[in-house]
Amino acid sequence: MKLTTVSLWNFRGYAKETHIAVDDLTAFIGRNDAGKSTILEALEIFFNDGKPDRSDVCVHSGETSIRIGCTFANVPDEIVLDAVASTTLSAEYLLNEKRELEIIKEWDCSLKTPKESVFALAQHPTNPDSADLLLLKNGDLKARVRKLGIDESELNLTVNAALRSAIRHACAPLHIEQKLIPLDKEDAKRVWDHLRPRLPLYALFRSDRPSQDGDDEVQSPLKFAIAQALKEVGGELKKVEDAVRSHVEDVANRTLAKLNEMDARLASELKPFFRSDPKWDVFKFGLVGDHDITINKRGSGVRRLVLLNFFRAEAERRQAHAQNLSAIYAVEEPETSQHPDNQRLLVNALKELAGNEGTQVLVTSHTPGLAGLLPSDSLRVVLKQPDGTAYVSRCEDSNLASLANELGVLPDRRVQALVFVEGTNDIEFLERISAMLKPHFADVVDLSREVRVALVPLGGGSLKQWVAKRYLKNLGLPEVHIYDRDDLNPPKYQAEFDAVNARTDGSWAVITSKRELENYLHREAIAEGLAGVVVETSDTCDLPLMAAKAVHEASSGSVLWSDILEDPKKLADKVNRVKKRLNRDAAAKMTFVRLGERDPQLEIVKWLQRINKMLV
């Protein structure tokens, strides 16, 4: 499942109902004490069974209850509630108006020990005889069937889902309204018990840690690795649990049988039961340096460097292996104690990690160095309002300038040329290809390192790139525009191409001879970048779509590609993820020989040579 929205009510600085959109990569940007960490800590409570207390209640409200909600897309198609029947969230009217699963957890903090209540906020029937069906026992459902005069001859009276379906049919037309459905008893509780193990794993890596043995700076990544491993082998562990339970119950029943021979009354009063489910999270790992010195005794920069490379390793691992488990990595101020070069490595690692299917990354930051490197569409601005409450909004172009000023993001005055491309994937491609070509052509520009060139995506980019574009547009810098040909005739950007080339300020534009930049990738590089998935490429094919289809069909999922094609949202998500992998992973596997086979006219080399000549 994929987290799409976080909702907070009366939690710390969030007095009013606040809904926060979450993407694959989401960065909460704002000044200290604005309410950034509160969001990550609310998710820690939600996912990892934390318990808020009275001090978490917003001081600006007169309420005593706290609510934390999470909304999920990509919900399970089927829910098995018992051994003989299954149902769906849609059939049980447990999805919201966007057909997503919205779970609300509530705590009454007027109590000494706040008790958790769990609800689904859903579009649910309100008809008197159909509003409470998930909360009824089998006997109550059968009584409702008889009350409504429903023919029982073709009903399986032992299957609750079938009884609910028949009752809803008899109550048609159903009146649907958004309401909170308690998930605390009967089949509603079984639904929640089924969903809980399928929620994403959530790991929060905080910035302010105590320096103790077993310091979470190092322990948290390893603990998260243990949690992932345990969840992945959950099926095998369940078999072990069942085997042990069966053996012990057999011994207990045999004992009671013998006791019955001696004292039948006492035997009838006893029955075997397990006090609690077994706990498997007993594994402890750590890292030590020379002379067995624990890592927590090293500087904070070293400890954060371990964390940085955990993310780099995770990105590589999740790229190499198909992941059935969803995971959310939340990091407070990841740039803490890091050199600017390491900050760039960290941002790249987090972006790569977020580019993997089933993986989301959340970060907080108030420093311009990190904020400037993040994609602007990933930014969420967190502000403290005059009344002391927190407010969160997406970072639109209209407020980038004010955000840049607030954080202190300044234009880089070393820039001598602006290179405009269609999107951030094109930047990934050009940076990797130019770095690969530099050792073979001394006169090409290495866009991955050249500070005198600002790469600006027309479809939205990083705050730093936007600032460069915004602040440098009046400095008279020459521009380079690189556009995809696509499959249009004339090309989509023909008018822009002509306009740029008509200038007399040294600006120029090109249109790719192939369909788009991905078509310059070699099939062998694609196979290596996509973990063995083979895609035949050509100059005119829709390579991202073909690759998305190939990756999907190579996975172990049961959903047919034809079904994906009928869902525009899922199709766009599949294609966008593969585009990221093509321009990142496949482009990284390109060699001089491979590019020569795909681009014998040295089209890309000539672009990079021409850009290099513009630099002084």
What radius of gyration, in Å, describes the C-alpha atoms of the chain?
29
Instruction: Enter the tokens of residue 151.
Output: 């023919």
Burial code (b: 16+ CB inside 10 Å, e: under 16) for 507-539 equals bbbbbbebbbbbbbbbbbbbbbbbeebebebee
Kindly report, residue by residue over 327-354, the tens digit of the pLDDT: 898 888 877 666 666 777 777 778 878 8
Strands 116-125 and 176-182: antiparallel
Which tokens belong to 295? 């890592």
Cα atoms in the 13 Å half-sphere on the side-chain side of 158: 4
Q: State residue 212's pLDDT score.
A: 39
- Is the pLDDT reported for residue 222 higher than 80? no
How far apart CA 522 and CA 519 sit, in angstroms, is 8
Query: Residue 139: is its pLDDT beyond 60?
Result: yes
Residue 298: partners with Cβ closer than 8 Å, 6 or more residues away: 289
User: How far is the C-alpha of 54 from the C-alpha of 576, rounded, in Å?
Assistant: 43
User: For the ranges 93-102, 365-374, 579-588, which has the lowest average pLDDT?
Assistant: 365-374
Q: Give me the chain's average pLDDT, please.
A: 82
Q: For the residues of 406-441, what is the DSSP string, one character each?
A: HHT----TT--EEEEESSHHHHHHHHHHHHHHTTT-
Q: Letter for the amino acid at 476? A: G
pLDDT-derived band at 355, boundaries 50, 70, 90: confident
Give 465-500 pLDDT, tens digit per residue. Answer: 555 655 556 667 899 999 999 877 888 889 889 998
Contact 4, 21 (CB under 8 A): yes
Q: What is the mean pLDDT of residues 399-404?
A: 65
- Taking residues 520-549, what's their average pLDDT? 93
Report whether pLDDT(564) > 80: yes
Coil vs helix vs strand at 589: coil
Portion of the chain with pLDDT greater than 90, in percent: 38
> In this model, does residue 119 exceed pLDDT 80?
yes
- Confidence (pLDDT) at 404: 67
pLDDT at 565: 92
CA separation for the pair 447, 417 (Å, rounded): 11
Kindly provide the residue ranges of all beta strands, DSSP E only, lying in 309-373, ordered along the sequence: 327-332, 359-365
Is residue 308 within 8 A of residue 342, CB to CB? The reply is: yes
pLDDT at site 215: 41
Residue 386: predicted pLDDT: 84
Phi and psi of 458, rounded to 5°?
-70, -25
pLDDT by residue (tens digit) across 91-110? 999 999 999 999 999 999 88
% of the chain surpassing 70 pLDDT: 77
**Structure token digits, residue 298:** 């090293």
- Residue 212 C-beta-side C-alpha neighbours within 13 Å: 5
Examine the pLDDT at 285 and tell me if it is beyond 60: no
The mean pLDDT value for 425-448 works out to 94
Give yes or no for residue 459 having a pLDDT over 90.
no
- Summarised one tens digit per residue, pLDDT across range 550-561 is 999 887 666 889
Domain layout of the chain by residue ranges = 138-172, 417-613
**pLDDT > 70? residue 572:** yes
| Residues near 281 by beta carbon (within 8 Å), at least 6 away in sequence | 226, 227, 230
Q: How much is the average pLDDT of 172-196?
A: 91
pLDDT of residue 398: 60
Give the pair of three-digit tokens for residue 469: 């574009």
Closest by alpha carbon to 183, among 141, 124, 235? 124
Give buried/exposed letters for 319-349 (b at 16+ CB in 10 A, else e). beeebebbbbbbbbbbbbebeeebbebbbbb
